[in-house]
Structure 1
Amino acid sequence: MMKTPFTLSPIKSSLWLTLFISSVTQANSTIPTPLPPIGLGFEQTVPVPKVGYPLPVIQNGANNSKGNLKYNIEQNPIATLLIGMNQIWTNGLKGWQNDANSNGPSSFANQAIVNPKIWQENITYVIKATQQRTEKQAIAAYLDDQRSKNYSVIDGYGPLTQAYVTASGAYTDIDQPTVKDIVSNAHYYAKNNDDIKFAGKRNAPLGSVYQLVYDFREVAPASTSASKYIYSTPRPWRMDKTGGIHYLGTAPYSCVQQNGTVHSDWLIDQYQSEVKVVPGLMCSRRHHESSVVANNQENRRKDGAYPSGHTNAGYLAVMAYAYALPQRYSEMLTRASQLGESRIQAGMHSPVDVIGGRIHALAVATYALSQRHIQADAQRAYNDSQSYFGQQAYAAGQFLYYFAHNKVLHPHGLILGDKVNTHVFDNNKFANHEAMKALYRSRLTYGFSQTGKLHQGPVVPAGAELLLATRQPYLSPAQRRAVLATTEVPSGYPILDQSNGWGRLDLVTAADGYGAFNGDVTVNMDANKGAFNAHDWWRNSISGKGKLTKQGCGILTLTGNSQYHGGTIIDNGVLEAASAHALGKGDLYLKNGILDVTSKGALKVANYTQLNGATKIDMDKDTSQIQASGNVVIIGGTLALDLSHFQPKAGKGYVLIEGRQLQGQFETISSPLPVRLQYTDNKLIATFQ
């Protein structure tokens, strides 16, 4: 794999002057050399939940595609994960879920709303989303409905979208509609596609990524059909404003294709409903098949809504793309959630359907990655993507992560004149990381009331850590399980609580590192391995009583408003504190390596101890740069001052470090300007000449 150019140390020696410093004053008392933070003395371990057959998915996931096993909820582990629907709505057909079939239930006479509150919240969301839908949202929903999901979600690659399309051979050939066809022509009927061929070609430069998409969607037991038949829930356009069914009979409906072909003999069910289906998708509603349902009867038997098949397909493709190029991991996951949201805005699905589709896909993707041959394909896809885009980043003089987040100056749009752009294009979607993160998390629950038991512990299903393998390659599987446990959605939400943990996983928040140190955490990053081994960002606000130990030559940047108490040890590499409370409320203990202070506002710590290594301060106009509530002990090492973002006034004193007491001094000082340091009883003050 090509190594992306990267300067490990943020201290560029050619820019600094090493000066002799005279100490002005020193504390009279002697502070004993502090010991390193103790922390908790153990690492957090997250046990695999105890389950009964047909779980866990990684052992029995194949049942989702096996004969009659897939139609039996007691045999199909993936359908079992979705069982929370039975606490919201049921078709009321006794024994059906143990022997469902591809023709669907013969009767819905006993259908029942089990949880009216949640069911009402569910349909209300759809009504609001479809009635307030914008023109662009309608177009996006149409495209996500009609295009191959393998192709449609590629734009989660942002500025690398078109480069990936070229390198993979991915394409679409759907009819190009006009804007009016989508937003106002309720009789428009277009050719659609979802074949695997639209994901690309095996012999393309990035054919290995195509292969991984193929594995997830075609080799793995990926279909939602069995679960759709088992639960047989209604689509939102069949429901009234309370979620009830008011069937008005069938009616002929004519649909006209772009080539002039007219379908005038279709029969489509009519209902009392306030859901507004995108006009251009009205002809995509299921019409009657005379071999299954006769005239004047509902055509619901094979049209189950839960879980959403499009959402499942989108997430599966996204998990392949995110695994191969984790530099766009969070954006890709959010793109999958956007496809799910588009299914709601289209009027074709409701939030519970989308939640079910996500759970289904994450379980299938994990099962796929647990298979040895697919894991080998996944590693090839990762290696090839890092090499292919790494070379482009190298040519641009950028680290691949930054290259994958370049701003697109002139992105194409969804609308070309009076027509719709059916192709994916380079874009700046999800450029605001925190907004993206909040959006993704909101779609895990869709704002449903927490009607279940609150304050239950985290549940991380067997194998789920595989989903973060390339995003956090420097963590062990056990550590990735801890990351998932400390970032997941709280308990109490419908469907999620019954999903054996799958529904509570928040992969976008997990991609930003730990949510809590419930044990001591040692991070060993080898920059020579490239990608996130070289540099990663933990953006969560971290709580807990554990300590953090940074090892290895890579860079770890902390940006959160953290509260962890166990302390921080730097053994090697770089630990960047990019916020005032990045290092929590414990002691800082710099044994070796580099502390890089880039926070806006003074970095807060308890006790500050430096034995060796370097403290680099990116100075700003704050009254002080590092504030210790306890003692500051400097036994040796380097202090490096970065003035890239600050112009000091000559002769003015600036507080660099302050604490209750200060003892010792740095061995060497690096500064782009001549500087004199004054060590007082409790402060280190810099005066520039």
Structure 2
Amino acid sequence: MAKLKMSSFLSARSTLLASVALLVLVPSAQGFDRSGPAGQGFAITVPEPAATYPLPLADSYRNQTGKNEKGEDVRAYDDHDNPVIKILSGFNRIWTLGDEKWAAGGANGDGPTDFSREKAVNPAIWQENMRYVLSVTGENRTTAAAFNAYMNDRRSQSYSVINGMGPLADWYREGSGATTTINHTLADFDPNEVITRKEEDKGTEAGTAESELKSVVALMKAIRGPEATTSPAKYFYSSPRPWRMNDKGEVVDKGTETIGDRTFEGYESSAGIVVPALKYARENRGRGKDGGFPSGHTNAAYLAAIAYAYAVPERFSELLTAASQLGESRIVAGMHSPVDVIGGRITATAIAAAVLQDPKNAEVKKAAHYDLQAYFAKRLPQGQSLIDFAHRAKPDVDQFADAAKNGKDYRRRMTYSFSRDRVAGDTPMVVPKGAEVLLETRLPYLDAAQRRAVLFSTGIEAGYPLLDDSNGWGRINLVAAASGYGAFDGDVEVTMDAAAGGFNAADRWTNDIAGAGRLVKSGSGALTLGGHNSYGGGTILREGTLVASSTDALGTGGVLVSGGTLSLAGETDLVIGGDYAQSGGTLAVDPQKATLRIKGNAVLDGATLKLAFGGGAPAAGTRFDVITANGLTGTFTSIDAGNVKLRPVYTGSALSVVVE
């Protein structure tokens, strides 16, 4: 230990512990609630936005059916009471039928069609929409992509999305009885040939009500109930599908087209848009009943993915990415355009959240999560966790095994190639009422207010088509939110319970966390921070384990460890931007890989240093730097290095160990 007077040590220790413990911050954005004694900072609150219709969607989602108690259409063309039509209203800024709907064809589109009144309100966006379609269809579409598009068109979306479960998919199919009758392979089916039959999936989709996983099937039934329909919005917006448009996005009637025994509407369209094997499967009943916006298949895929992800959150991001992939395949098929697919995602996100937060579904969602977790647990190899098993496959087997790629693909598909309007880009992020339920099983150790803050901090920028008018639903990035906070815009206290298992016991946040707030870790569970973090309010570890797996995992502020274990798990040094104080607990380091580098001062008092040598026993006489600081005061009470005998060397600014 460096030589200094005891009174000086106590004074320095007291001052430093106090300064690090306070970690006072100034709020960096609106929406904060000053709480607790002075100096404890600010808790994050994300208020619910004002609804753009009489009631928030969470409270009015049943109006989405467009039916009365007799099953009669009453709101198919009325946007007054339909909340989904309202959150999709950004489409009116892109394209419109004009001042009359189906002028000659009538409300059902069953007469001669007059397109003279339709027009692009924003020609630049409408033409970009069509350009993207052309970029992934025709000569740019591979046979494999065409085959995948065919399968996703004809097969149940609830069945297709099961692939997002990866190594768990076969187990799920076995336990739920999920089947499909669309079982082609690329080797035995040519999607580039026109076929004159329309295949219908006669399988059990997500499973059967008599299966071992009947509770998961029941949850899927609830989420994909009558409120999940896209028909009212399709009727209301009545927009053309890509195969009805030419390369400028115009709809020009060209008579009829005959394929086999069916006659189809004919248009001046770009060649090769529709996968040939799907031409015969097209709807042929007018755009009043076959509008492009929003995409029904995409809506169904996201609804299924959210239901599965609620029950098995260990594959949350992978399932959502699978849904986004299916949505993109609708564009590749030539059946939909990017705005259609974005509309389907917005619809599904809102409806799924509304169903999950509805008190009447509390028991069915709880049973689905519990039963599927128990079902998988019975099949796990001894000693292996569900999260580890769910991610054991390599990318050549599990197409969603690359987490970084999933995040990039999902984000790209939220906006496709549309340019961002930076004038409109100042629209603040909002989190709709009830949206936090979407993360209920993925981040179970956070409360509802904290999950809202996660959605707020990971939402995407404003200024993209459709999204700013969605009352927040379109800007929610669920894959990013599954990786924890994007910013600490106030104090965040995380309490995890290892005994509760699953993500309560251990979780990993990989987003790059910004903001002025601080992190306080309590409870017996383990939290890993793996992003390039710049939050400035500091870090306090009281209990459990906090794992830092990147150089700047703990942000730019000071760090106080009063209990638990702070573990350096990265391949590089951990840098503390401010002061460091440890009055208890354990600091765990592999000195062959990393050093704790403190830009400020450090005080050690009553703590344990645990050293592990993952690279094998070091040679005698080898010296390792464990801590470097601007100034170092105090010592560790004990040093545990297993069978390796060490001699600590303290100086006024560093701690090293020498192998004996």
TM-score with structure 2 length normalisation?
Answer: 0.91
Mapping of residues 509-520 of structure 1, within 5 Å: 509-520=480-491
Alignment-derived partner of residue 686 in structure 1: 657
The residue matched to 1:676 in structure 2 has which SS? strand
Q: Paired residue for 2:505? A: 534
Shift of 1:456: 2.2
Deviation digits for residues 237-258 of structure 1 (CA, Å, limit 9, x no counterpart): 111222112332202111xxxx
TM-superposition CA deviations, 1:338-384 (whole Å, max 9, x none): 00011011111111000000000011101111222322101100011
CA contact (8 A) 2:602 2:632 kept: yes
- What SS does the aligned partner of 1:71 have? coil
| Aligned-residue identity in percent | 42
Q: Please tell me whether the aligned partners of residues 327 and 401 of structure 1 are also in contact (alpha carbons under 8 angstroms).
A: yes
1:609 aligns with 2:581: yes
Distance 2:609 2:432 in 1: 46
Partner of 1:46: 46
CA–CA separation in structure 2 for the residues paired with 1:646 and 1:324: 41
Deviation at 1:194, TM superposition (A): 7.4
Deviations 1:180-204 (A, max 9, x none): 7433211342422277x32111221
Q: 1:583 to 1:486 in 2, by over 3 A?
A: same
Secondary structure in 2 aligned to 1:684?
A: strand
Indicate the SS of the match to 1:43: strand
Verify the 8 A CA contact 1:37 1:569 in the aligned structure 2. Answer: no
Q: Out of 271-280 and 60-69, give the one that drifted further.
A: 271-280
Aligned 8 A contact 1:236 1:348 in 2: yes
Q: One-letter code of the match for 1:594?
A: T
How is 1:268-417 mapped onto 2 (pairs within 5 angstroms)? 268-287=265-284, 289=285, 299-393=286-380, 395-407=381-393
Q: Matched residue of 1:212: which SS?
A: helix
Q: Shift of residue 447 of structure 1?
A: 2.5
Structure 2 residue aligned with 1:171 = 179
* Mapped partners of 1:491, 1:370: distance in 2: 26
Query: Which residue matches 1:64?
Result: 64
Q: Does 1:485 align with 2:485?
A: no
Q: Say which SS state the counterpart of residue 286 (structure 1) adopts.
A: coil
- Mapped to 2, the partners of 1:227 and 1:574 lie a distance apart of 49
Letter in 1 for 2:190: I
Partner SS, residue 532 of structure 1: helix
Q: Is residue 170–residue 201 contact of structure 1 (8 Å, CA) maintained in 2?
A: yes
Residue identity matched to 2:44: Q
Q: Distance in 1 between matches of 2:356 and 2:432?
A: 14
In structure 1, C-alpha distance between the alignment counterparts of 2:4 and 2:346, rounded to whole Å:
60
What letter corresponds to residue 186 of structure 1 in structure 2?
A: V
Conserved? CA contact 1:621–1:646, under 8 Å: no
Which segment is superposed worse, 369-378 or 500-509? 369-378
Matching residue's letter, 1:271: E
Q: Distance in 1 between matches of 2:143 and 2:91?
A: 32
- CA-CA distance at 1:179 after TM superposition: 4.6
Deviation at 1:71, TM superposition (A): 3.1
Contact 2:102-2:115 at 8 Å conserved across structures: no
Contact 1:632 1:662 in 2 (8 A): yes
- The residue number in structure 1 matching 2:124 is 117
| Cα separation, partners in 2 of 1:286 and 1:613, compared to 1, 3 Å | same
What SS does the corresponding residue of 1:669 show, helix, strand or coil? strand
* Matching of residue 656 in structure 1 with residue 626 in structure 2: yes
State the 1:303 CA deviation: 1.5
Partner of 2:167: 159
**Are 2:201 and 1:193 equivalent residues in the alignment?**
yes
Q: Does 1:86 align with 2:92?
A: yes
Matched, 1:140 2:148: yes
C-alpha separation between the residues in 2 aligned to 1:175 and 1:268? 30
Cα deviation 1:18-75 (Å, max 9, x = unaligned) = xxxxx4x446763232211424311110110012434411111111114213431111
User: Which residues of structure 1 form unaligned runs of 5+?
Assistant: 1-22, 255-263, 290-298, 412-426
- The answer to whether the 8 Å contact 1:104/1:302 transfers is no
Residue 66 of structure 2 contacts residue 232 of structure 2 at CA under 8 Å; is this kept in 1?
A: no
**Superposed counterparts of 1:595-634, under 5 Å:** 595-605=566-576, 606-622=578-594, 625-634=595-604
Which letter maps to 2:118?
A: Q
* Distance in 1, Cα, partners of 2:498 & 2:269: 61
Partner amino acid, structure 1, of 2:405 = A
Change (3 A) 1:653 1:212: same
After TM superposition, list the pairs within 5 Å mapping 1:185-224 onto structure 2: 185-193=193-201, 197-218=204-225, 220-224=226-230
Q: Distance in 2 between matches of 1:104 and 1:488?
A: 42
Structure 2 residue 437 is the aligned partner of structure 1 residue 466:
yes
- Per-residue deviation, 1:621: 4.3
Q: Is the 8 A contact 1:93 1:107 kept in 2?
A: no
Residues of 2 paired with 1:372 and 1:194: CA distance?
Answer: 33
How far did 1:231 drift?
0.5
Check 1:432–1:265 CA distance in 2 against 1; reply closer, same or farther (3 A cut): closer
Hey, what's the Cα distance between the residues in 1 that align with 2:110 and 2:563? 66
Equivalent residues in 2 for 1:564-643, closer than 5 Å:
564-605=535-576, 606-622=578-594, 625-643=595-613
Deviation at residue 276 of structure 1 after TM alignment: 2.4
Assess if the C-alpha contact under 8 Å between 1:82 and 1:499 holds in 2.
yes
- Change over 3 Å in CA distance of 1:181–1:93 after alignment to 2: farther
Amino acid at match of 1:249: G
> 1:19 corresponds to which residue?
none
Q: Distance in 1 between matches of 2:210 and 2:283?
A: 37
* Partner SS state of residue 334, structure 1: helix
Q: SS at the partner of 1:540?
A: coil
Give me the whole-angstrom Cα distance separating, in 2, the residues matched to 1:449 and 1:439.
Answer: 17
**In structure 2, distance between residues paired with 1:175 and 1:556:** 42
Question: Structure 1 residue 446 and structure 2 residue 423: aligned?
Answer: no
How far apart, in 1, do the equivalents of 2:610 and 2:91 lie?
A: 59
For the structure 1 residues 648 and 457, does the alpha-carbon distance in structure 2 shift closer, same or farther, using more than 3 Å as the test? Answer: farther
Kindly indicate whether residue 658 of structure 2 is the aligned counterpart of residue 677 of structure 1. Answer: no
Taking only aligned residues, the RMSD between alpha carbons, in angstroms, comes to 2.0
Range with greater deviation from structure 2 (63-72 or 181-190): 181-190
Q: What secondary structure, in the 3-state scheme, does the structure 1 residue paired with 2:467 have?
A: coil
Counterpart-to-counterpart distance in 1, 2:302 and 2:150: 18
Query: Are the counterparts in 2 of residues 37 and 566 from structure 1 also a CA contact under 8 Å?
Result: no
Tell me the matched-pair count. Answer: 624
Cα 1:642–1:188, aligned 2, differ >3 Å: closer, same or farther? farther
Q: 1:101 to 1:679 in 2, by over 3 A?
A: farther
Contact 1:145 1:343 in 2 (8 A): yes
Task: Give the 3-state SS of the residue equivalent to 2:455 in structure 1.
Answer: helix
The offset of 1:647, in angstroms, is: 5.2
SS of 1:204 mapped into structure 2: coil
Paired amino acid for 1:243 = G
Give 1:391 shift. 2.5
- Give the Cα separation in 1 of the matches to 2:544 and 2:599: 26
CA contact (8 A) 2:540 2:560 kept: yes
Residue 252 in 1 paired to residue 282 in 2? no
Instruction: Verify the 8 A CA contact 1:39 1:545 in the aligned structure 2.
Output: no
Cα distance in 1 between the residues matched to 2:502 and 2:76: 40
Task: Please tell me whether the aligned partners of residues 109 and 287 of structure 2 are also in contact (alpha carbons under 8 angstroms).
Answer: no
| Residue in structure 1 matched with residue 34 of structure 2 by the alignment | none
Residue 392 of structure 1 and its aligned partner are, at CA, apart by: 2.3
Counterpart for residue 232 of structure 2: 226
